[in-house]
Structures are given as C-alpha cells and as structure tokens.
Amino acid sequence: MSRKLEFSVRIHATRPHVWRAMLDDPTYRVWTRPFCAGSYYEGSWAEGARIRFLSPQGGGMVARIAANRLHEFISIQHLGIIRDGVEDTDSDAVKAWGQAYENYRFRDVHGATEVSVECDTAPEFEEYLREAWPKALAVLRDLCEAGPDAV
C-alpha cells in the first residue's frame, strides 16, 4: 500500500526554464543529489516512454512516462525496482506498491513558477522522502534562479 506525499516550491523563473532544469540530464544530476549523489536517468521523458532512474551503484527504479504536457505536467508511473542493474517488475514487494505515480505540475503564480510534486510511496520510504524532497526542490530553485547561463 502506498501513501501520497505532496511538496511544492516557488521559483522566480519561467516555466520553460524550470522545466528544462528539472528534466535535462546535466541539471537533473544536480538537483537530485539530495536523493542520491550521482543519480541519473536513462531513457526519454516522451509520453509512453520507458525510463530508468539509477544510482551509481546500479540500483534504482524503472518507470513509464504516463503523461507529458510540455511546461505544464509530467506523470511518471513507477513499474518496478532495479537491483544490481536487473529490473524487477513482478515480485510481491513491487506488487505491494499498487499503482505508484510521481506527478509534477508547473503553474504561473505572481510572476514565478510553482512546481508541485505529488508522489506515491511505500511507508518505509516516507520519512526519507519527506527529508529529501524539500532539499531537492531548494536546489532546483537555486539552479533556476541563478540565471539562464547556470541551467
């Protein structure tokens, strides 16, 4: 069974600028450090595409991009876990999550961009995510507000 967590940050930059900083490989690697230093992704953010979120140690998550509305909304459907480079989408542990999503919304708010994150998580990861998400969003904000040359 999963729990839904919500986080948000207001960033003084345009939605296209924030979108690029969040999803482009070089800056993705920076703002996701609070989750796992050295994390990266393989695959595409295109709707329907399969994507893998990986740690330098070979672990991570396999997912599908359920929706992608440019500069507005992206939804990631988690399909399973990766251990030592091997995908697991069928174990009882994975099935116990049920339908797990991570959704990002980008809205214009008083000359800034509000990024809202809604994610489903297993109870054993809740505390970790409650600590990591605010830190990661603060790094994203700092990257974006440093200016276009920083992203």
The answer to whether 137 and 145 are in contact (CB under 8 A) is no
Per-position pLDDT tens, the chain of length 151? 578 999 999 999 999 999 999 999 999 999 999 999 999 999 999 999 999 999 999 899 999 999 999 999 999 999 999 988 899 999 887 887 777 999 999 999 999 999 999 999 888 889 999 999 999 999 999 999 997 655 5
pLDDT of residue 1: 55
The answer to whether 76 and 67 are in contact (CB under 8 A) is no
The reply to whether the predicted model has a pTM over 0.85 is: yes
pLDDT of residue 95: 81
Angle at 120 between CA 118 and CA 124, to 5 degrees: 130
pLDDT of residue 84: 87
pLDDT of residue 148: 63
pLDDT of residue 151: 54
Cα–Cα dist 33/139, whole Å: 9
C-beta neighbour count of 44 within 10 angstroms: 12
